């Protein structure tokens, strides 16, 4: 969410540090370094701190939710960065009282230790007004009380459809793309035009193109991974770390412009690891090794499904 947060009840895509006050602290769960995250976080006119709790995303786009002790670790982290809010002893006592599970209190304590000033390497960094980016997302102007109409008025989204990038009519006031931790990377040369990604995407992110492919509108993609799950071709859609991408340009247009350059670019972004989240079960992540498919080599994938009860 370092790319921005979109509160429900639309208020635009807002910087994750919008509410951080002078000398305050932004606590983030991430495997990245502060410099890597600040490439996406808006500038502030004063100094504040960023504290990074080592870890993988626990919740993304409301699709991936894991009981991986992130809640407990965040409480321990708060105790480390501002003991005036709550002490670590109070956190441990609360968790033991509420859950009766020692490992939850221990997770909070470990997070606390990792963020203390004496911790090595230091995980808390001062952010100055020179750090971060100029925020590009439009700031919504909310109606004044005397401009509001009687009752509740929700303007409808204009319907329409055109072939090609951004062809579907979508609600421009409801873009959740900045909340994702992964985005689907597509090898169009491997695509069989089976339509499954287009049909199954819960956020209608795929735009049919005149040549029968499906472009992706990343501003609306929440990174759920459904398209990668259903795509029947090996290595055709792969979920990739979102923070590797600095914009939301159309992958199909990129591929049409220079297919060889696109394949090299997208394979570089994909890297070797293939990360997937076992949905619903909340049991962490699965990492397998991917391969680089030769151009146009279509190999079907056999999907296996494990259902835990």
| Binding-site ranges for ligand SF4 (CB under 6 A) | 184, 186, 191-197, 201, 203, 205, 214, 216, 221-227, 230-231, 233, 236-237
Output the DSSP codes for 207-255: EE-TTS-EEE-TTT-----HHHHH--BTTTEEEEEGGG-S----HHHHH
User: Strand, coil or helix: what is 174?
Assistant: coil
- 236 or 243, CB closer to ligand SF4? 236
Closest distance of CB 124 from ligand SF4, Å: 33
Distance CA 103, CA 93 (A): 12
- 99 or 192, CB closer to ligand SF4? 192
> 247, 227, 229, 182: which is closest to 31 by C-alpha?
182
Closest distance of CB 233 from ligand SF4, Å: 5
- 40 or 213, CB closer to ligand SF4? 213
Closest distance of CB 229 from ligand SF4, Å: 8
> 162, 165, 190: which is closest to 257 by C-alpha?
165
Distance CA 303, CA 65 (A): 22
- 47 or 192, CB closer to ligand SF4? 192
CB atoms within 10 A of CB 193: 13
> 132, 153, 126, 117: which is closest to 16 by C-alpha?
132
- 109 or 187, CB closer to ligand SF4? 187
Closest distance of CB 61 from ligand SF4, Å: 7
Closest distance of CB 225 from ligand SF4, Å: 5
Closest distance of CB 231 from ligand SF4, Å: 3
- Cβ-contact 290, 272 below 8 angstroms: yes
- 83 or 165, CB closer to ligand SF4? 165
- 42 or 225, CB closer to ligand SF4? 225
Closest distance of CB 77 from ligand SF4, Å: 29
Burial class (CB in 10 A: 0-12, 13-18, 19+), 272: exposed
- The DSSP code for 157 is P
Q: Is the dihedral of CA 259, 265, 271, 277 positive or negative?
A: negative
């Amino acid at each position: 969410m370092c790319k921005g947060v979109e509160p429900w009840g639309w208020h635009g895509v807002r910087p994750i540090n919008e509410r951080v006050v002078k000398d305050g602290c932004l606590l983030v769960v991430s495997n990245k370094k502060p410099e890597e995250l600040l490439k996406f976080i808006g500038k502030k006119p004063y100094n504040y701190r960023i504290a990074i709790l080592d870890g993988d995303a626990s919740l993304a786009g409301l699709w991936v939710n894991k009981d991986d002790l992130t809640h407990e670790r965040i409480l321990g982290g708060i105790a480390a960065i501002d003991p005036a809010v709550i002490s670590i002893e109070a956190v441990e006592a609360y968790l033991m009282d509420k859950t009766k599970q020692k490992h939850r209190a221990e997770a909070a304590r470990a997070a606390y230790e990792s963020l203390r000033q004496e911790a090595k390497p230091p995980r808390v960094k001062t952010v100055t007004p020179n750090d971060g980016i100029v925020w590009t997302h439009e700031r919504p102007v909310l109606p004044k009380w005397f401009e509001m109409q009687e009752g509740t008025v929700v303007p409808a989204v204009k319907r329409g459809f055109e072939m090609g990038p951004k062809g579907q009519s979508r609600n421009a006031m409801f873009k959740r793309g900045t909340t994702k931790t992964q985005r689907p990377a597509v090898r169009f040369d491997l695509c069989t035009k089976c339509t499954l990604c287009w049909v199954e995407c819960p956020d209608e992110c795929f735009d049919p193109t005149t040549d029968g492919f499906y472009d992706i509108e990343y501003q609306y993609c929440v990174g759920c991974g459904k398209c990668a799950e259903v795509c029947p071709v090996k290595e055709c859609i792969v979920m990739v770390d979102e923070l590797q991408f600095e914009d939301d340009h159309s992958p199909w247009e990129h591929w049409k412009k220079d297919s060889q350059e696109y394949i090299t670019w997208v394979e570089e972004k994909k890297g070797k690891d293939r990360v997937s989240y076992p949905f619903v079960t909340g049991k962490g992540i699965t990492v397998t090794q991917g391969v680089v498919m030769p151009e146009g080599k279509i190999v079907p994938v056999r999907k296996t499904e494990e259902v835990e009860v």
